[in-house]
Amino acid sequence: MSDLKPATSHFENLLKEQLQRVQKMKNPPPETEFSTVKPIIVGVCWGDGIGPIICQETQRLLEHLMKDEIASGRLQFRPIEGLTIENRVKHMKAIPDDVLEALKACHVILKAPTTTPEKGGPYPNIESANVAMRRELDLFANVRPVKVPSEGLDWVFFRENTEGSYILGSKGIQVTDDLAVDFKVITKQGSERILEMAFKYAADHHINRVTVVTKANVVKTTDGLFLETAERISKQYPQVTWDAWYIDIMTAKLIDPARRTQFKVMVLPNLYGDILTDEAAQFQGGVGTAGSANIGYRYAMFEAIHGSAPRMIEEDRGKYADPSSLIRAAIMMLNHIGFTDRAKKLEMALDICGQYEQKVKITGRDNGATAREFCDYVFETIRDDSLQSRWQASSNQKEA
């Protein structure tokens, strides 16, 4: 029989860490009130692979939209360097200490894709920068909207961001050569805050249904706690009905034309949310078209939902990368910090260029437009005085 003491000691330390985290969650910091903040500091991380290409274009659009606020000192874009895979490997940390401090000095972060090393790959198997950032800044809610009016789809996903299968993803135990164990963590406090956000969003937006997705029939303890918490939170929102689905059948029903339009707001533990939102994004044109918000009480981070696409760089196709996902994230950021009028303007322009007119098309290859050409198209559309009527006409034609 193998010596289990190292494994049990490791597990004991993990439990102690998680209990400390629970205590912190019991005393959350106050939420940032952006109407009173000047300047609002937006940290910009250009990332890896195609990241710098699509981030440069997204920032160019934002700087045009927000030029008055930048000039008046109301808003400041601050480059955050050092989140590249090369620098992370150099320090053997998902987020080097100086980079983390720079991130904490910002109010919100716009982040391009970063490379996540994997076992057997070219880089040491350090933790995902995304997972580390969500944990360090306590960005507990991953909010991903998917909207395809022509298909009758208007979904908002609330994915728990700091627990589940990912929180200890780099802290599993290789007990013996034959046995490896990973861990899944669900807490009452972590479940409460993501479920509360989902139900409140539904109530505030007059949406009468929240769908809770788990695998509680098999993963009884952790997913069971999430489901029990949903039942309790739902009682605070009698105007919102809720139902529970299992993740396996939910992936099937999301592609069922007879069922999928009935879903509105979905809330899920971490891993299930990661999988289901990638599937959902495909309806909108793929992961390259969907943005993502990572929300906490004090900080927020906005990102594309796709990866750094190293193959595109290796094949010298980086300049053809689609910036739409990061632009969608930028729209969510503008809404979050209170500039809803500018957010709507950018959203309408992106809808026109990416879903409706499509006069300049991104294909990811040299038979399509470059990121710069596509963003020039968006740039000119934003400046069109008839943007609102143009968007409405295009929307009506698409739905017809």
Residue with tokens 């000691």: 9
3-state SS record for 112-169: CCCCCCCCCCCCCCCCCHHHHHHHHCCCCEEEEEEEEHHHCEEEEEEEECCCECCCCC
CA distances, 312 to each of 12, 48, 282, 362 (Å): 43, 12, 19, 14
Q: Is 389 exposed, middle or buried (CB count within 10 Å of its CB: 0-12, 13-18, 19+)? A: exposed
> Mean pLDDT, 10 residues at a time, over the chain (400 residues)?
84 94 93 93 96 97 97 97 94 96 97 88 85 91 89 94 86 89 94 97 96 97 97 97 97 96 97 94 82 94 91 96 95 96 96 91 95 97 92 78
- pLDDT computed for residue 124 by the predictor: 85
Domains and CATH numbers, the chain: 1-26+144-281 (3.40.718.10), 31-139+296-400 (3.40.718.10)
140 CB contacts (<8 Å, ≥6 apart)? Answer: 134, 160, 161, 162, 190, 193, 194, 295, 296
State which H helix or E strand residue 229 sits in.
helix 222-234
pTM of the model: 0.86
Q: Which tokens sit at 36?
A: 């009173």
- pLDDT computed for residue 214 by the predictor: 98
Residue with tokens 């808003």: 75
- pLDDT computed for residue 170 by the predictor: 76
Pairing mode, strands 180-181 and 141-148: unpaired
**Nearest Cα to Cα of residue 141 among 15, 265, 279:** 265
The span from the CA of 377 to the CA of 324, in Å, is: 12
- pLDDT computed for residue 38 by the predictor: 94
In degrees and rounded to multiples of 5, residue 54 shows phi and psi of -75, -25
State the DSSP code for 351.
H
The span from the CA of 267 to the CA of 196, in Å, is: 10
By residue count, the chain amounts to: 400
Longest dimension (CA), the chain: 76
304 CB contacts (<8 Å, ≥6 apart)? Answer: 54, 112, 113, 287, 288, 290, 291, 292, 325, 326, 328, 329
- pLDDT computed for residue 169 by the predictor: 79
